[in-house]
Amino acid sequence: MKNPLVSGGVSHLPPKALSCGRCGSADRLKLETIESIEPHAGELAVWVTYACQGCEASYAHSAPFRDVAAVLNRSGNGSGLLQFGGQYFHCGEPMAFAESSARNVYAPMTTEDVDDGLLDVYLKTRVIQCRCGFRMELPV
Ligand SMILES: [Zn+2]
Ligand SMILES: [Zn+2]
């Protein structure tokens, strides 16, 4: 019989919030990598490496995704949109597919050299939606 408690690796450490251990601040953190960790219970967590630009210290540990998204938002990529692991996140939450976008597609009437490939791509879009109402159209 295997005791599951014995096989602990570093990724089993509980996620903790991002902050600089030297200055105690999270204001000057620069995220370097975000990686998925093995499936886990509870809140979504990821493995992050980051550096404090004030202290030039770097850190690596697992962190709640919500905290990572907060740091990303603060460091000013603006939209709050984040792509990670094949999913899109907004407000720190994975965005869900909205019901398929059944909007009308207006085919160009005057253009003679309509590119069928482009039109095809345009038709095959799906819409993902955040619970805050943010929507984004994705090519399939
Ligand atoms: Zn620092
Ligand atoms: Zn949102």
Q: Which ligand is nearest to the CA of 73?
A: 2
Neighbours of ion ligand 1 (CB under 5 A): 20, 22-23, 52, 54-55
Q: State phi, psi for 88 to the nearest 5 degrees.
A: -105, 140
Q: Report the alpha-carbon distance of residue 35 to residue 46 in Å, rounded.
A: 6
How far away, in angstroms, is 19 Cα from ligand 1 center?
A: 8
Q: Which ligand is nearest to the CA of 69?
A: 2
Q: Which ligand is nearest to the CA of 53?
A: 1
- pLDDT at 101 > cutoff 50: no
pLDDT tens track for 9-30: 444 678 999 999 999 988 888 8
What ranges make up the beta strands (E) of 19-105? Answer: 29-36, 45-52, 57-64, 81-84, 87-90, 93-94, 96-97
How far away, in angstroms, is 135 Cα from ligand 2 center?
A: 8
Q: Which ligand is nearest to the CA of 79?
A: 2
Average pLDDT of span 58-76: 82
pLDDT tens track for 72-83: 776 555 556 777
